[in-house]
């Protein structure tokens, strides 16, 4: 971190130009930087009735709120899914990152569940959404491993929400066990890993394998410490194990990593848009 901003930009530019493979890790900080923030005006303007009734403070903690009934719970979740998954189109930051890597052999692993990578040009077969996706439902008990597209249902729920509740007939039920449904998110041990999840997990492992020893960039974008075992620690480990690897880390709050990788790390705490546009100049 002793190097100047311009220095780090030049280094990043050079290693990206010369890289054989790029593995991208996307965390919550990336979507927040792209403008999909879970607090502030986006929250207060979209959720005023829920804030008034339940005292909710932001979209992150609201996901864990113990709503009193399924009708109330789905009224909240439908709105949450609509504003984070269906309303936003591909954001400029994600599109810029795509431009930066699109001619390289790349792969994405992300804990984000909002489809921004796909919406911004990344090929679906190269994006492993390891924690699920807002756009699907699953059995809350994981009794079978199918996930169900929820777009039309979510839109109908939002349209028919009254007094912070959806009509009872819209509450989704598992077609196999008849129990409750959940959004397809890894919130507990019942998370469903369907065929598509398994295939992408395999593609991810294949990409790691074929990257062994290559001129490799681990591009870590806004990854904090909620689930560091998925992206952050493996990226440091893989950087350590490959003498031709560079770790490029974008993180405003936690840029510091393993000291063994110090020479191989380029860390940015600056605004992501700014860094990406300077690297692409």
Please identify which residue in the block is written with the tokens 């169900």.
148
SS3 of the chain: helix, strand, coil, percent, to 5? 45, 20, 40
Tell me the closest approach of the beta carbon of residue 208 to Zn ion, in angstroms: 33
For the bound state, the minimum distance from the C-beta of residue 226 to Zn ion, rounded and expressed in Å, comes to 27
CB of 141 to Zn ion, least distance (A): 5
The secondary element (H helix, E strand) that includes residue 148 is strand 148-149
Query: Binding of Zn ion at residue 280 (CB under 5 A)?
Result: no
| CB-nearer residue toward Zn ion: 24 or 174 | 174
State the minimum distance, in angstroms, from the CB of residue 176 to Zn ion.
Answer: 5
Per-residue x/- mask for Zn ion, residues 71 to 110, rule CB under 5 A? ----------------------------------------
Decide whether 177 or 280 has the Cβ nearer to Zn ion. Answer: 177
Separation CA 106–CA 258 (nearest Å): 24
Burial of 83 (0-12, 13-18, 19+ CB in 10 A): buried
Task: Return the number of the residue (143 or 185) whose C-beta is nearest Zn ion.
Answer: 143
Q: Is the dihedral of CA 66, 67, 71, 72 positive or negative?
A: negative
Question: Which 121-180 residues touch Zn ion, going by CB under 5 A?
Answer: 139, 143, 174, 176-177
Q: How far is CA 4 from the centre of its chain?
A: 30
**Closer of 141 and 160 to Zn ion (Cβ):** 141
Q: Which is nearer to Zn ion, 149 or 237 (CB)?
A: 149
Which CA distances in Å does 113 have to 133, 217, 265? 4, 23, 27
Interaction site with Zn ion (CB under 5 A): 139, 143, 174, 176-177
């Amino acid at each position: 971190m002793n190097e100047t901003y311009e220095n780090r930009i030049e280094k990043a530019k050079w290693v990206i130009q010369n890289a054989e493979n790029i593995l991208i890790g996307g965390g919550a900080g990336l979507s927040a930087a792209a403008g999909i923030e879970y607090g502030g005006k986006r929250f207060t303007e979209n959720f005023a009735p829920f804030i008034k009734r339940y005292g909710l403070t932001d979209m992150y903690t609201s996901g864990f709120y113990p709503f009193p009934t399924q009708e109330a719970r789905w009224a909240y979740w439908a709105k949450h899914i609509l504003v984070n998954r269906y309303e936003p189109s591909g954001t400029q930051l994600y599109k810029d990152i795509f431009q930066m890597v699109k001619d390289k052999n790349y792969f994405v692993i992300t804990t984000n569940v909002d489809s921004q990578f796909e919406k911004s040009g990344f090929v679906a077969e190269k994006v492993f959404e390891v924690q699920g996706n807002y756009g699907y439902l699953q059995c809350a008990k994981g009794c079978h491993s199918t996930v169900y597209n929820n777009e039309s249902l979510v839109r109908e729920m939002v349209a028919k929400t009254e007094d912070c509740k959806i009509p009872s007939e819209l509450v989704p039920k598992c077609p196999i066990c008849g129990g409750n449904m959940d959004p397809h998110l890894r919130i507990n041990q019942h998370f469903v890993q369907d065929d598509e999840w398994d295939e992408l997990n395999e593609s991810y492992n294949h990409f790691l394998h074929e990257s062994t020893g290559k001129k490799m960039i681990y591009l870590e974008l806004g990854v904090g410490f909620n689930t560091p075992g998925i992206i952050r620690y493996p990226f440091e480990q893989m950087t350590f194990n490959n003498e031709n690897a560079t770790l490029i880390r974008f993180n405003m709050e936690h840029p510091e990593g393993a000291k063994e990788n110090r020479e191989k790390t380029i860390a940015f705490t600056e605004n992501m848009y700014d860094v990406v546009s300077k690297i692409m100049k």
